[in-house]
């Protein structure tokens, strides 16, 4: 009942006209960002953070807008999967399998509508899961001491590469790099200058917003130039929509299964939205077996992965909101927003900032209804914008990133720093060193060091306190498994995903 | 397939790890004497992790991704140079002019016709300038176009 009470407070926040307006804006921009190939959700949210910041929005409004962008990007990803056969973001990969064939059979509008409904259902189911699970997890997390937190951070890094990640050592290296950058600046508890090289701008450390925007947005531009993808690709025309109630009903069981599976994949460390959509697609194929014609444009093959990835994206908010430890790139960027608004993420948020947390959760419910309404009648608008070739869109997006960073500090130094991070991001991506752990390291570095300090002060310098409680031992074990599992299971899973993908390409 | 990339990068990271560790040993002792975890403990820990990872990378490198060559490399260089010039010209030239130049050049190098490219730059720059300066009251530099 307590949950219902909080939820009603949340709706009170989410339904304020200002917040509704920004949620709508976020939904629209998010869908757009998701639809553009190459502009993933993490990227899009990153570009918008400085803008939300300089606009001086209230924390809840800013977070509601960015969460709406995040949810919207998950919807948008499907548009380019279905019409172009290029996933707008990674989790939308599985939607290509049946979405593109459907579109080629002249049923593009139906595929878009079905996937919108599935996205909405998946997300709503997972949001309900979030409402039920998050308070319990938050209460549990209150029992964590500094040693447990330190182990939890290690766990977050160890599982961040995901089960499908290629080389766990590179994930670890990326995390170490991020943490190293985070130590630059004046040490908060002793006042010692660390790695500032006497440069005044470095005294306060490296602003992670600059790093995030550079790593994502600028490196993306460079990749587009290298791939010579400026012209864009031929797109399938959208036919007038003919969808009856019976067809919608036939996909409902699929979306429920997809949403639940997606939610679980989202909550678990190291799984994420890509795996969520993959699992729900393969499971659906197994359950329906020969009754479906998967791979040739089965509506349920569109519904399953969409419900799965939207479910996972809401599920991924659970560890971010309750533990302050994000499990994916986009939730890491959302966390960056919280930190820069001076809100300490973690279990205390549920008591100290109840209106903010529950406002965001309620906004997620409202936002999904908005997204459904936006995405069925207005899909034509998004299709129009998608047909603008990337050679015009990407430079403009880069310019918006510049404006965002510039308007925070009016500093040319920051802009050049951002470009530097962009080039570094390009090199790291070429070497297949993942970028998300770098960002997470930057974000969590100070907290992690603080928790290490506190536990050492408690134990008077005895390192064994880090693995002295059952809980922390459990966390360390999961972390180790998280590092080892990709080496064992990763190649098998990746091969299957690729096999499924190449069947439609060929 | 060559595996040089990972080896070279691993070596660079190893150098960084050693330098970073050395840097941590040079911190002045904190005011009030040493504690169990000083300002240098966490960096030293990180340096060790980075060192282990870079050694692993050199011993077991992944196959290389091809680096861009010739013309593509030049295009990337032009793009980065454009961005740097954009950053430094934003204040002296003003937002609209520098955006016209930067966005225009990027669009053009990505395959648009020059006239359309620079027109895109001019329009997007003007729209964002008006939106920010008058709509959001976050003034962007007017530069040469400043009217007094």
DSSP annotation string for A161-201: T-TT-S-HHHHHHHHHHHHHHHT-EE-TTT--EES-TT-GG
Query: Which of B41, B95, B111 minimises the CB distance to A230?
Result: B111
Nearest CB to A431 within list B9, B79, B124? B9
Contacts of B1 in chain A (CB under 8 A): none
Res B2: pLDDT: 73
Q: Could you say which of A180, A391, A456 has the minimum Cβ distance to residue B107?
A: A391
- The pTM is what? 0.84
Number of domains in chain A: 1
First to last CA, chain B: 63
- Residue A268 phi, psi dihedral angles, 5° rounding: -65, 140
Which A residues in the span 379-438 are in contact with B, Cβ-Cβ below 8 Å? 389-392, 394-396, 398-400, 402-403, 406-407, 412, 415-416, 419, 422-423, 430-433
State whether A228 and B138 contact (CB < 8 Å): no
User: Is A196 at the interface with chain B, CB within 8 A?
Assistant: no
Which residues of A fall within a CB distance of 8 Å from B90? 402, 406, 412, 415
Task: Give percent of chain B with pLDDT exceeding 90.
Answer: 34
pLDDT of A128 reads: 92
Cβ-Cβ contacts under 8 Å, B44 against chain A: none
Query: How far is residue A95's CA from residue A34's CA, in Å, rounded to a whole number?
Result: 13
Check CB contact of B18 with chain A, cutoff 8 Å: no
Gyration radius from chain B CA atoms: 24
Residue pair B42/B79 in contact by the 8 Å Cβ criterion: no
B19: closest chain A residue by CA? A195
Q: What is the pLDDT along chain A (506 residues), one digit of tens a residue?
A: 678 888 888 888 888 898 999 999 999 988 888 887 667 777 888 888 888 877 778 888 988 999 999 888 888 888 888 888 777 666 777 888 888 888 888 888 888 888 899 999 999 999 999 999 988 888 888 888 888 888 888 888 887 766 556 677 888 888 899 999 988 888 777 777 888 787 777 777 788 888 888 888 888 888 888 887 666 666 777 777 777 787 788 888 888 988 998 898 888 776 666 777 888 888 888 887 666 778 787 888 888 888 888 888 888 888 888 888 887 778 888 888 888 888 877 888 888 888 888 888 898 899 999 999 888 888 888 888 777 888 888 888 889 888 888 888 888 888 998 999 999 999 998 888 888 888 888 888 888 888 888 888 888 878 888 888 888 888 888 888 877 777 777 677 777 777 766 655 54
CB contact under 8 A, B42 and A449: yes
Q: Do A169 and B57 touch (CB under 8 A)?
A: yes
Distance from C-alpha of A484 to C-alpha of A167, rounded to nearest angstrom: 10
**What distances in angstroms separate CA A371 from CA A72, A94, A147, A305, A485, one per listed residue?**
7, 21, 42, 18, 36
Q: Which of B65, B20, B1, B21 lies closest to A428, judged by CA?
A: B65
* Residue B85 pLDDT > 90: yes
Closest CA to A64 of A24, A91, A37: A24
Residues of chain B in contact with residue A176, where contact means CB-CB under 8 angstroms, are 46, 49-50, 53
Q: Residue written as tokens 């020059």?
A: B114
| Chain A CB contacts of B103 below 8 Å | 395-396, 398-399
Closest-CA residue in chain A for B67?
A430
**Looking at residue A506, what is its pLDDT?**
40
Search chain A and give the residue with CA nearest B136: A55
Residues of A in contact with B39 (CB under 8 A): 187, 189-190, 192, 194
Q: Nearest C-alpha of chain B: how many angstroms from A493? A: 19
Which residues of B, range 82-101, sit inside 8 Å of A by Cβ? 83-84, 86-88, 90-91, 95, 99
pLDDT at residue A504 in the model: 53
Contact at CB, A396 and B103, closer than 8 angstroms = yes
How distant is the Cα of B20 from the closest Cα of chain A, in angstroms? 9
Residue of A nearest to B65 (CA): A430
Question: Is B6 in Cβ contact with A456 (below 8 Å)?
Answer: no
Enclosing domain of residue A21: 2-505
User: Is A190 in Cβ contact with B49 (below 8 Å)?
Assistant: no
Q: What is the mean pLDDT of chain B?
A: 85
- In angstroms, the separation between the Cα of residue B144 and the nearest Cα of chain A is 17
Confidence at residue A53, expressed as pLDDT on a 0 to 100 scale: 78
List, as own/partner pairs, every contact residues A345-349 make where C-beta atoms lie below 8 angstroms and the sequence separation is at least 24, other chains included. A345/A320, A345/A321, A346/A141, A346/A322, A347/A137, A347/A138, A347/A139, A347/A141, A347/A142, A347/A144, A347/A322, A347/A323, A348/A142, A349/A138, A349/A321, A349/A324
- The DSSP string of B45-68 is HHHHHHHHHHHHHHHSPPPPPPPP
- Find the helix or strand (DSSP H, E) in which B80 lies: helix B70-93
Give A-chain residues touching B109 at CB under 8 angstroms.
Answer: 225
Place B118 in a pLDDT band, splitting at 50, 70 and 90. Answer: very high
Of A391-400, B76-85, B116-125, the range with the lowest mean pLDDT is: A391-400
Residue A193: strand pairing partners: A186
Query: Which chain B residues are Cβ-neighbours of A47 within 8 angstroms?
Result: none
Q: Across the interface, which of A173, A398, A415 has its CB nearest the CB of B53?
A: A173
Helix (H) / strand (E) containing A313 = helix A299-315
Give the residue-averaged pLDDT of B99-110: 91
Kindly determine whether residue A431 and residue B13, on different chains, have CB atoms separated by under 8 Å: no
Rounded Cα distance between A419 and A211, Å, is 9
Instruction: Give the residue on B whose Cα is nearest the Cα of A52.
Output: B136
Chain A contact for B56 (CB, 8 A cutoff): yes
Which residues of A fall within a CB distance of 8 Å from B68? 226
- Look at A412 and B88 and tell me if their CB atoms are within 8 Å: yes
Cα A254 to chain centroid distance, Å, stands at: 23
- Chain B residues in contact with A218 by the CB 8 A cut-off are 83
Are A403 and B140 within 8 A, CB to CB?
A: yes
């Amino acid at each position: 009942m307590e949950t219902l009470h909080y939820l009603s407070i949340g709706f009170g926040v989410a339904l304020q006209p200002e917040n509704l307006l920004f949620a709508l804006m976020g939904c629209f921009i998010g869908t757009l960002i998701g639809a553009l190939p190459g502009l993933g959700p993490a990227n899009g949210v990153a570009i918008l953070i400085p803008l939300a910041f300089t606009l001086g929005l209230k924390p809840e409004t800013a977070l509601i807008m960015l969460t709406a962008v995040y949810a919207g990007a998950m919807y948008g990803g499907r548009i380019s999967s279905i019409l172009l056969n290029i996933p707008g973001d990674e989790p939308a990969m599985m939607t290509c399998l049946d979405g593109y064939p459907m579109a080629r059979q002249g049923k593009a509008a139906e595929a878009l509508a079905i996937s919108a409904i599935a996205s909405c259902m998946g997300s709503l189911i997972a949001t309900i899961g979030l409402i039920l699970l998050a308070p319990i997890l938050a209460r549990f997390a209150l029992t964590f001491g500094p040693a447990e937190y330190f182990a939890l951070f290690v766990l977050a890094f160890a599982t961040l590469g995901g089960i499908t990640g290629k080389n766990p050592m590179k994930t670890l290296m990326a995390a170490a790099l991020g943490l190293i950058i985070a130590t630059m600046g004046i040490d908060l508890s002793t006042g010692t200058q660390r790695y500032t090289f006497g440069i005044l701008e470095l005294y306060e450390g490296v602003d992670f917003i600059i790093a995030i925007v550079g790593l994502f947005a600028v490196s993306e531009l460079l990749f587009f130039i290298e791939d010579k993808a400026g012209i864009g690709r031929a797109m399938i025309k959208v036919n007038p929509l003919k969808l009856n109630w019976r067809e919608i009903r036939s996909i409902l069981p699929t979306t429920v299964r997809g949403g639940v599976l997606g939610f679980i994949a989202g909550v678990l460390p190291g799984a994420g939205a890509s795996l969520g959509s993959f699992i729900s697609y393969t499971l659906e194929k197994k359950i329906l077996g020969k009754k479906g014609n998967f791979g040739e444009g089965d509506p349920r093959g569109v519904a399953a992965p969409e419900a799965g990835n939207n479910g996972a994206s809401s599920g991924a908010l659970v560890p971010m909101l309750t533990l302050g430890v994000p499990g994916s790139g986009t939730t890491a960027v959302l966390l960056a927003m919280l930190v820069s608004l001076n809100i300490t993420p973690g279990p205390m948020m549920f008591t100290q900032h109840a209106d903010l947390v529950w406002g965001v959760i309620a906004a997620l419910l409202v936002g999904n209804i908005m997204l459904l309404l936006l995405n069925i009648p207005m899909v034509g608008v998004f299709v129009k914008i998608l047909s603008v070739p990337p050679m015009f869109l990407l430079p403009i997006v880069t310019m918006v990133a510049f404006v965002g960073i510039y308007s925070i500090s009016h500093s040319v130094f920051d802009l050049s720093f951002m470009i530097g991070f962009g080039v570094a991001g390009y090199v790291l991506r070429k070497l297949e060193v993942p970028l998300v752990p770098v960002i997470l390291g930057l974000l969590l570095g100070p907290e992690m060091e603080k928790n290490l300090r506190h536990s050492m002060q408690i134990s008077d310098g005895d390192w064994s306190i880090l693995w002295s409680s059952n809980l922390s031992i459990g966390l360390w074990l999961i972390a180790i498994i998280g590092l080892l599992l990709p080496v064992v299971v990763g190649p098998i899973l990746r091969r299957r995903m690729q096999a499924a993908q190449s069947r439609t390409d060929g | 397939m060559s595996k040089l990339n990972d080896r070279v990068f691993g070596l660079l990271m190893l150098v960084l790890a050693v330098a970073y560790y050395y840097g941590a040993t040079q911190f002045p002792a904190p005011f009030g004497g040493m504690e169990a975890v000083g300002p240098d403990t966490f960096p030293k820990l990180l340096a060790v992790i980075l060192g282990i990872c870079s050694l692993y990378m050199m011993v077991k490198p992944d196959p290389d991704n091809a680096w861009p060559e010739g013309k593509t490399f030049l295009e990337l260089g032009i793009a980065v140079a454009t961005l740097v010039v954009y950053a430094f010209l934003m204040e002296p030239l003003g937002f609209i002019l520098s955006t016209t130049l930067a966005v225009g050049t990027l669009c053009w190098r990505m395959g648009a016709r020059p006239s359309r490219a620079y027109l895109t730059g001019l329009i997007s720059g003007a729209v964002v300038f008006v939106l920010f300066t008058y709509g959001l009251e976050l003034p962007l530099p007017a530069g040469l176009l400043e009217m007094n």
